[in-house]
Structure 1
Amino acid sequence: MIIGIIINTSEPETVWNAFRFGTTSLLNDHEVKIFLLGRGVESENIRDEKFNVQEQIKLFMGNSGKIFACGTCLKARQMVGSEVCPISTMRDLLHIVEESNRILTFG
């Protein structure tokens, strides 16, 4: 099954749980694509003692999870793309929605 996850927040616990679910899905033989939208593009900069978002992102990527980030949302925050936040478009999000069996939104 292909699972699409949209993260539209930078709230540490929510982002942490979204990536945890993504990794769990990957470890259970699903393909997972995460699209960072709005404040979600700030995910790689989240630092929180209780919810280690960075660790969850590394686990997700280390298990072949794919991440996309809204280029317009990055630009609005004067951010540039990165390995965690590769610049993507609404067309990429549309493709994720079209090909996914399930879409989950966090935020």
Structure 2
Amino acid sequence: MKIGIVLETKEHEKAWNALRFAITSLGKGHEVRIFLMGEGVEIEDIKDDKFDVTNKMHDFTENGGKLLACGTCIMSRHREDTTTCPISTMVDCVEMVEWADKTVTF
């Protein structure tokens, strides 16, 4: 199955759970893409001892997950493109939803 995830928050536990869901889905043989939107583009800045989002994000990408980030949301926060979260467009988001058999939001 192809699973698309839209993550719109930088809230520690929700971002952590989205990544846990994504990693578990990859482990079950599914293809997974995450599109970061709104404050979700700030996911790399989450620092929390209880909810280790940074390591989960690395686990996701190292296991074949694809991570995209809304360019407009990145630019509105005066952030730059990174190798972990390449700048993407709404067209990319629409294409992810079209590609996915199921789409989940967090």
TM-score range, shorter chain: over 0.9
Shift of 1:88: 0.0
Number of residue pairs matched by the alignment: 106
Counterpart of 1:80 in structure 2: which amino acid?
Answer: E
| Structure 2 match to 1:12 | 12
Alignment of 1:66 with 2:42, yes or no, is no
CA distance in 1, matches of 2:77, 2:59: 26
Alignment of 1:51 with 2:64, yes or no, is no
| Structure 2 match to 1:38 | 38
CA distance in 2, matches of 1:19, 1:83: 18
Q: Secondary structure at the match of 2:42?
A: helix
Unaligned runs of 5+ residues in structure 2 are none
TM-score normalised over the length of structure 1: 0.97
| Structure 2 match to 1:102 | 102
CA RMSD of aligned residues (A): 0.5
Counterpart of 2:22 in structure 1: which amino acid?
Answer: G
| Structure 2 match to 1:25 | 25
Comparing 65-74 with 78-87, greater Cα deviation is found at 78-87
